[in-house]
Structure 1
Amino acid sequence: MYVAFDQLPPESRVWIYQASRQLTGPEIVAVLPSLARFAEEWTSHGRSLQASAQFLHQQFLVIGLDESVAGASGCSIDASVRFVAQLEQQLGIELLEKSNLAFLQAGQVQLLKRGELKEAVTAGTIGPETFYFDNTLQTKAELDTSWPRPAGETWLARYFGEAQKTRRLA
């Protein structure tokens, strides 16, 4: 059963899929019916799921599920991944690829390949105060309060300590 994303309770589970590029307004408008239809038809063991899906920052597909109504099963999660793969085809983007990291810089989402992170930190392009989109969040409450958040408060914090050691040795 479809529910407006902002009506999902804070403890709702979320899945975040990062697009390989920013989507245009017309692209997002064109897929809104597909997002609503997916949420409306998504089931787990024959039970309707209370769910929603939306694009945030024109870059991130977020699927939300109120698990207090019914939880996702392995088969229903597989169905959601198939839906995301269909969106990839429809939009000509990657959503399931996990090798890029996303940062908010000068009000824009900037993607950085994971292998380029150490160099960007050492160069000072990315710092502990740079806002990072941690797409491993589990709940809507975390999405609402901690996404994005300073990179130094995420799993990336270890990279800033390494960069300081490198600068001292130079």
Structure 2
Amino acid sequence: MLVNHETLQDDARVWVYPSSRKFYPQEVEELNQKLCDFVSNWKADDVNFKASYQFLYNRFIVFLADEDSQLANTDIDAQVAFILQLQQEYEVDLLDKMNVCFKQGEFIQYKDLKEFKKLLKSKSVNDKTIVFDNLIQTKQELENNWEVPITESWYNRFL
């Protein structure tokens, strides 16, 4: 069942899919409808299943599922199949979690790790740069540890 993400507990499971580009304004409404439809039908046969989604910065697709919900491999496979479908339809990359998303002024950049290391070396980004840790696993981590300075993320090893 689709619920408001705010009603899910702090230990709700989270999956973050960063897009290789910002979605265009004309894509946003349609994409939101597809996300809503997917989550609404994700496990429609399970009346106890509670899930939600967020579409953040017109770039990040975030799924949340109540930790008490039993997710089988087939449920995760359905999520990944849906993401693969979106990748193809919108011609974006959503599954490469090793790319780095970070803020540069008001813009969000998406770079591969090698390029990001070069930016650090050239001081184009620094220890105060805000990065997105797309490897988080819970709602609590999404709210508190997703957008952090490099020094508070696993990327700090490259400083």
Q: Is TM (by shorter chain) over 0.5?
A: yes
Report deviation, 1:151.
0.7
Give 1:149-160 correspondences, 5 Å limit.
Answer: 149-160=148-159
Distance 2:8 2:32 in 1: 18
User: 2:103, 2:131 within 8 Å by CA — same for their partners in 1?
Assistant: yes
Partner SS, residue 154 of structure 2: coil
Report deviation, 1:142.
1.0
Partner SS, residue 136 of structure 2: coil
Distance 2:90 2:117 in 1: 31
User: 1:35, 1:52 within 8 Å by CA — same for their partners in 2?
Assistant: no
Query: What stretches of structure 1 of length at least 5 have no aligned partner?
Result: 161-170
The aligned amino acid for 1:137 is: I
Structure number with the bigger relative contact order (C-alpha 8 A, sep ≥ 6) is 2
User: 1:128, 1:153 within 8 Å by CA — same for their partners in 2?
Assistant: no
- After the TM superposition, which segments of 4 or more aligned residues of structure 1 sit over 4 Å from their partners? none
Give 1:80-99 correspondences, 5 Å limit.
Answer: 80-99=79-98
Partner of 2:27: 27
User: 2:14, 2:137 within 8 Å by CA — same for their partners in 1?
Assistant: yes
Distance 2:110 2:40 in 1: 32
Q: Percent identity?
A: 34
1:139-161 deviation line (CA, Å, top 9, x unaligned): 1111112221001111111111x
Distance 1:34 1:157 in 2: 36
For normalisation by structure 2, the TM-score amounts to 0.91
Query: What stretches of structure 2 of length at least 5 have no aligned partner?
Result: none
Partner of 1:55: 55
Distance 1:33 1:111 in 2: 25
Partner of 1:164: none
CA radius of gyration, larger in: 1
Report deviation, 1:99.
4.2
Partner of 2:137: 138
User: 2:97, 2:134 within 8 Å by CA — same for their partners in 1?
Assistant: no
Q: CA RMSD in A?
A: 1.6
Distance 2:134 2:98 in 1: 12
For normalisation by structure 1, the TM-score amounts to 0.86
